[in-house]
A and B are shown apart, each in its own frame.
Chain A
């Protein structure tokens, strides 16, 4: 557990850096997370993935399967990794403010 600073406001994150309260998600938060994730600049493509994940979670209450994500955004898994070096779960889902992936990861 710890806090990160977003525009001077402390936001609580867990030990893997996922936000604890989904309500605190903001575009400023994404900018801060992106730096930690080794993303130099957030492009339109990054936002396409992030917005897709948020919309999907809002509608279905779960994160999409990787195949679903690739099919609907048109990015291959390789391209997703180029956008989010730590991958769709640890990278993209974290930026999108989704719950931390669980199970035998």
Chain B
């Protein structure tokens, strides 16, 4: 029998000697230039990390090519960050400049550190997922093409700004807690294939999957029926029952959410909130989405104080000012109407005209 249950390799065997030696003894770090970090240890050792953008979805050729770079300059050591950037770990300072020169020559983009727009956390999209309402890789490429000066540090921003893409409301990844989130949404209720449903789907599971109780059994067809008045097109039923389909190339699209954060710095973590209820799917460049994201970034960057993240900025100026400054229309779609929605209503006379 094959060897199993042996877990991932021990990370301590995979880190550079300088990190092994100085583990838990780092004194401070600086950012000498965008995308480059310098860590100094109590023992006096210095480690540079050079961060490059990665598309996350990469070929084995890509992995081999960055491994070759790591072999040349970093004794074979590199790491991936939690936003899927790659970092080259250089302990020999004389190799830093040649590494950066080589990376630039080969077309890798250095950046993503400190106050910047780092990589976009995203999902599978039309590459691999059956529930994808929109594409992930495509939108990410378009958005980052538009925003790359913010990644490289060419254009400064007041604080870090996190962008995430999820291709359906399952929100794999970080969309519920990012400064700007792009989430795929449906706008037409699902269709039930009664014939296919029998024997393929667990009816009680399908009914229980609905957050609004819109699904009930249909004894006549031994299937289920969906109350369209109650359905909000979350597509949860289509996840548990392959006989229910919801895809609609015309009405499917994306929504944009703002103001989430996970850190506890200054203010508590926040969920992101709806800013734009619907933008069309417009592959391959999604111009409506990229323009909207760029616009939100520009308005925030022009108005926020130093160190103030999107959500903190909105909290300070208020949502009515946010909609005014961004020029986005405020619609009935923005008003929460799910179970405990009352807590999101305004229960004060404090507001701005």
A: residues with CB less than 8 A from B are 20-23, 60-63, 99-100, 102-104
The 7 A-B residue pairs whose C-beta atoms are closest, nearest first, are: A22-B199, A62-B202, A102-B240, A62-B204, A61-B203, A61-B204, A99-B200
Q: How far is the CA of A22 from the CA of B239 in the complex (A)?
A: 20
Q: How far is the CA of A22 from the CA of B170 in the complex (A)?
A: 30
Is B303 among interface residues, defined by CB-CB distance under 8 A?
A: no
Residues of B within 8 A of A63 (CB): 202
Can you name the residue of chain A whose Cβ is closest to the Cβ of B197? A99
* Shortest Cβ distance from residue B273 to the other chain A in the assembled complex, whole angstroms: 25
Extra inter-chain contacts (4) besides given A60-B204, A104-B170, A104-B239, CB under 8 Å: A20-B199, A99-B202, A100-B200, A102-B201
Q: How far is the CA of A104 from the CA of B240 in the complex (A)?
A: 9
Interface residue count for B (Cβ, 8 Å)?
A: 12
Residues of B within 8 A of A100 (CB): 200, 242
B199 touches A21 (CB 8 A): yes
Q: Which of B57-110 contact A (CB under 8 A)?
A: none
B192-229 interface mask toward A, CB cutoff 8 Å, 1 = contact, 0 = none?
00000001111111000000000000000000000000
B164-202 interface mask toward A, CB cutoff 8 Å, 1 = contact, 0 = none?
000000100000000000000000000000000001111
Q: How far is the CA of A82 from the CA of B173 in the complex (A)?
A: 35
Can you name the residue of chain A whose Cβ is closest to the Cβ of B243? A99
B201 touches A99 (CB 8 A): yes
A102 touches B199 (CB 8 A): no
Is B52 among interface residues, defined by CB-CB distance under 8 A?
A: no
Is B241 among interface residues, defined by CB-CB distance under 8 A?
A: yes
Residues of B within 8 A of A20 (CB): 199-200
Residues of A within 8 A of B205 (CB): 62, 102
Can you name the residue of chain A whose Cβ is closest to the Cβ of B201? A99
A103 touches B202 (CB 8 A): no
